[in-house]
Structures are given as structure tokens and as C-alpha cells.
Structure 1
């Protein structure tokens, strides 16, 4: 009698075994938890998102507490409008790491008239963050309403709303933003943010429309309709919570794009203008000094890049947390242990 020949393991079997084991462990860990707790646990385990959230929180706290906000005073001794004698040659930063951290009177340096760059960068960070949050909130709201109406009612209303969306999409956002920014750029950052929100809602509207087109065919929508619920109650009470994952993730991406749009417009002179301050306006103001006093250019640029990257990493973590199909590839160490 012949002995059965053992089947050799295939190259992908070990990877599949490890992945299935990890999936089973994850399912066991989240058993009995609410959907919100599951999403929170997945988000907290995303290292990049957590580091980005901590860094972004630190930037917000630093910007709001250092020079104060509105009537609330800050702990920094200079304001964005203060002019002091030049401390270092050419206004070089007093911040030093040699022999220990030394902050000094002007850690980010001074401009040619003696204004403290740290105070101005903090003020610009406040304004840019304010514009980013308002654009994110208002553009998301407009996109949700437009997309929900188009996806739920379909027909002629869908055609009208989507043709309007397509018309806004075909025109470059920077060009529309430049026109709107030229009209309201000298006004408050709130006015500028509201104007820019009118041209940045289109991607959210298309995504929400796609979600609502899919959700309107689900059984719970039919059950709510049979129970006598109105169309608006079905849309915003039953369907919207099921699309919240896509909305939150794309809101973070929208906010990251918003701060870059505000920076670009302010750099071109169509956004926030002097005597007010934003990070893009600072780069525009100090661009001619890049060769001789580069610190005036570096610090606003560093905060712009940091904020945009942090928001993008947070959005990446939220995407993984809300999407159960997202699986991280096991590391070599985990595969070796398996």
C-alpha cells in the first residue's frame, strides 16, 4: 500500500494563516463593543494618526496660549505688532541648542523693522487654523445637503444639482478662490473662509450622493418609509449616520486642502492681507528675504507643512478605523512568530 504524499505548503499559506489569525483575534477583541468603541480602538492603534493628533494638538495649544486669543491674554511677552530693537545681527533667531536649550528674546528671529517672528507666526497659525476649520465645517455641510438631496430624490433634482456641481468642478478652484479672495481678502478671515467654502464643497457632494444612492435601496430605508417617516427624517436620521465614516474621512482631507488653498491665495496676494497675518501672507511678505534671512521663510513654511501632514495622517487613521476591510500587512516579525 502506498503512503500518501504530504502536500507541500504553498508560498502564500503562511501569510494567509497569519492574516486569518490576526483577523480572528481582532474579531474576538471587539466582540460586544459598540460601533463607536470599535472605531475608537482602531484609531488609537494607528500610530501615525495618534502621533499626528498629538502634534496637531500641540500646535493648536501653542498658537492659542502663546499670544492669546481675542480678549484672553497669552504668556508670550511680544505681540505681532510690537517693534523692538534688533537683538541679533540681521534679526537672527536667539534660539540656540548649543550647550543646552536657550530660547532668548526672539527665538524665531525678527524682521527688518524689529517685529517678533514667533508672535507673527503664532498669529498666522491662528488665522490659518480658523480658516481651515470654517471651510471644513461649512463646505462639509453644503456638500452633505447637496449630495443627500441628489442621491435620495434622484430624477430632475439630481440632474440639476449634479450639473451645478460639475460646473463648479470644471473651473479651477484656485481661479475661483482668487476672484472671491480678491473681493473679500481685505475682510476678516471668517469672511474669506465663507467665500472659499462656496467652491470647495463639490467633492463631498459627489461622495455623499454616491453613498445615498446605495443606502436608499437598503431594507431599513424601506422599513422607515413604511412606518410613515418623512423623506427628510429618513435622510438625516437613518441614512446619514450610515454614511458618517465616509463624511468624516473626507472632511479631514478637505481641511488639509483648505489650509493649502488659503496659503496659496494669501501668497499670491488674494487672501488675507497686511496688516492682518496668515502663514501664506508671511511667506509672501518674506519671500524676498529668503537668501539673506531664510528663518523668516522657514518657520511659516514649517507650520504649514506640519498642519497639512497632521490632518492627512489623521484622515488616514480615520479611514482605516471606519473601514473594516482595511487590514494592515503583518510585519516580518509577526509572520516569523506565526
Structure 2
């Protein structure tokens, strides 16, 4: 999912791709007197980048119902099919319509996978490693982003079809998800939830490797029964006693997005080009941020149970504030409408971006959910 979501961020900085689908942006990019802050101001390009996320948002509501009614395994299979069809359309695109439709299908795949995979992991994991296993999901996403950066860097000099290769290689993780979802078994919780009690008990014994699962089975059975009795879950959430948990759940997710991580990670190659790096150098800088992202997520896995979630979240708030203000200040003072930053100043921007990404990756990224 990380690869599928982020491979196009490098593609949008490739001249061959821009020249074919967004010639206006291509012309702006190569006009030295064009305003640095307007080169990529194009509605079609914005639609290309945002359509995946909008589709994922809408699809997540449908995926929730599919997960409940048909199980986690089938939902992951559906996600992989949407991924594969979207990848084919994007890699073979000859016009903007094919690009957008492919991106929408990828977004539906992301929505379905983001709904099913974390749920699947939490339901099969033993209680004592459940938190770490869920963080590993976020770690895998960051690895996917890192691989996308590497691929974008390697194919950027393959003309004129390097961008097709970058988009098409998203089919590799999609195929792995498709094959994997055919091999894995359904979770005991999903089976019990759908009233397949004996199958759920047998599966619980299988994944735990013991017949002594009566206590856990009764706990799952009770939780499913309680959930089944809730006829109006949304109305129940609005009760006064539930409001603190509801507010925290919503606000945490909103603040996670308000940190600006998506703008930084998605537009990193474009940002680095704007401040003076050439195409290859900007993609390489994005690779560096990808490495920082992966390594810092590992830090979260190691430290979360030692120092606690609250400490990591609060520390990250201060670090992200300082780095964002520093980046904004440098660009405000040094980056005018038509100039480029000096090499030394540009390197400092990359360092500050890496510091920003690192603190997000060990805090709000894996812990915000």
C-alpha cells in the first residue's frame, strides 16, 4: 500500500510523464522566470494526486461492511484485485482519464486493505504482542514508501517509459497481497462474528497451537454477542459517557493529518526540485527521507513499551514544530519567486525535513491510530 500510494510522487517530477499528460506543468517547470510557488499549480495534476485518497476515504465505509459480512480474507482479496486493475490502467495509460480511473481503483484497494489488514493482524495476534504487531503494519507501509523512492530514482533516467515502469511495479506488492490472501486462513473473530462457531473454535486452536483456548474463545464469543446486540451503534457512541473516547479517537486522527506529513512525504521530490536540486538529486533526497522514515519507525517498535506513547507523542510535537518553523523560515527568507537556494542552504532543508519525518515516524505515524 505504501508503494501504491507514493510511487506517483516521484513520477510527477519526471519530465517524460509531465510532458505527456501535463504539458502546461512541464512548460512552467522549465521556464526559469516562472514563480517557484506556481510551477505545479494545475487542477488536473491535483486531481491525479488526490483521487486515490478521496476514493480510499469513500471505499473505507464500504469495506467496513464487507469486512463484517464476508470476512477479512475476502476483503483483502478484493483489495488486491482493485490494486491490480488500477496498476494496469496506470501503467498503460494514454490519456488523463485512464490515469484518474486507475488511481481511483488504487484508492479503493487502499481503502479495503487499510480496513482489513490491521484488523486481521490484531485478531490473530496474541495479546502480549498485539501492539508491536500493529506497529509492524505501519513499518511495512514505510518500507513500501522507501521502495517506491528507490524505484523512482532508478527508473528516472529510462526514457521515455521509466514512469510506466514505476507505476507498473506497484503490481508486485498487489500480486503478493492477492496470493497471500488466498493462502491465509480467516480469523477466529470473523468466523465467530458470522456465527460459524465450531470453525472459529477450530481456527483459534490452530493459530494458538494449543487446545487450551476456552477462555479466549469465550471472550471473543461475548464480545461478538455484545456487538450484535447494538442496534444503533452510532447513537450509542453519542452518549455522554462515550464522548471522551469518541473525541480523542477523532481528534488524534485529525491532528495526525494536520502535522503536514502527507505534504512533506508526497511532495518531497517536487520540494527538493524547487529548492535547487536537479531531478536525480531530488529523487535521491526523497530516498534519504524514506530511509529515515523506515529506521525511525523501528525506533517506535523498540521504545513504545519502555517510555510510553504519551512521551513519544509529546516529544514529537515539539520537534515537528521546531523543524516546520525552521523550514518555513529558511524558504521565506531565501526562496524568492524565481531563484534557487544555495547548495548549503538546500542541504539544511533536506536535513530539517529528515528530522521532521523521523519524529513523525516514531510517534504520530504508528501511534496516532
Q: Please classify the TM superposition score into its range, dividing by the shorter chain length.
A: under 0.3
Q: Which has the higher helix share?
A: 2
- Give the number of the structure whose alpha-carbon radius of gyration is greater: 1
Please give the TM-score of this superposition, normalised by the length of structure 2: 0.25
Please give the TM-score of this superposition, normalised by the length of structure 1: 0.27
